[in-house]
């Protein structure tokens, strides 16, 4: 099922959740994966870029997490996985600083949501990918190659490696895991 959704719109989120429940009868899992990169907003120091990054990357995750958790709490179970980044742990000199700020917001929002919704049976975790191949239309592909020698596993990650981590956190195999951060970065921020 495809439902066009602007993650910065509460009305769009409500519509998406309503349609999901209409078609599937319930909402078990939410993966908050929509986001934009710091290179997607133009000038590295613009207020407009800051606002756009925070709106999509942080507010969008807040809306999805909050509205989905409310529905999941009605049935006493559910799993939310918020996609952040290793830049939610560390800063970087490249790109817009709003990217790290927005991903750090996701990291701490996840913990707050885990504490708030855990008593109702809703688990909330975050995943923090490291350097992967550039996204479609990505403007920073060249800089990624420079990160390989600084990554202990000496390669970029693959999207499927992140997907398996998300799958684990979304599944019943992670039934006692909430409020945690799963870093999938080849050891980049361990040093």
Q: What are the catalytic residues? A: 99
Residues 6+ apart with CB under 8 A from 30: 64, 65, 68, 78, 79, 80, 81
Distance of CA 35 to the CA centre of its chain: 7
Q: How many residues does the chain have?
A: 191
Kindly give the interhelix angle for 97-117 and 60-75, rounded to the nearest 10 degrees. Answer: 10
Q: HSE of 88 in the Cβ direction (CA atoms, 13 Å)?
A: 27
């Amino acid at each position: 099922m495809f439902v066009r959704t602007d993650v910065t719109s509460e009305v769009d989120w409500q519509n998406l959740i309503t349609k999901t429940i209409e078609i599937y009868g319930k909402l078990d899992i939410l993966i908050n994966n929509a986001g934009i990169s710091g290179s997607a907003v133009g000038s590295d120091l613009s207020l407009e870029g800051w606002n756009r990054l925070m709106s999509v990357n942080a507010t969008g995750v807040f809306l999805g997490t909050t509205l989905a958790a409310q529905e999941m709490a009605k049935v006493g179970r559910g799993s939310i996985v918020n996609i952040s980044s290793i830049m939610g742990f560390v800063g970087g000199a490249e790109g817009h600083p709003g990217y790290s700020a927005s991903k750090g917001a996701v990291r701490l929002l996840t913990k707050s949501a885990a504490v708030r919704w855990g008593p109702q049976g809703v688990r909330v975790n975050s995943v923090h990918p490291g350097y992967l191949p550039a996204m479609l239309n990505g403007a920073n592909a060249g800089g990624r190659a420079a990160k390989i020698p600084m990554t202990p596993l000496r390669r970029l990650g693959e999207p499927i490696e992140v997907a398996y981590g998300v799958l684990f956190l979304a599944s019943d195999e992670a039934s006692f895991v909430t409020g945690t951060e799963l870093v999938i970065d080849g050891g980049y921020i361990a040093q």
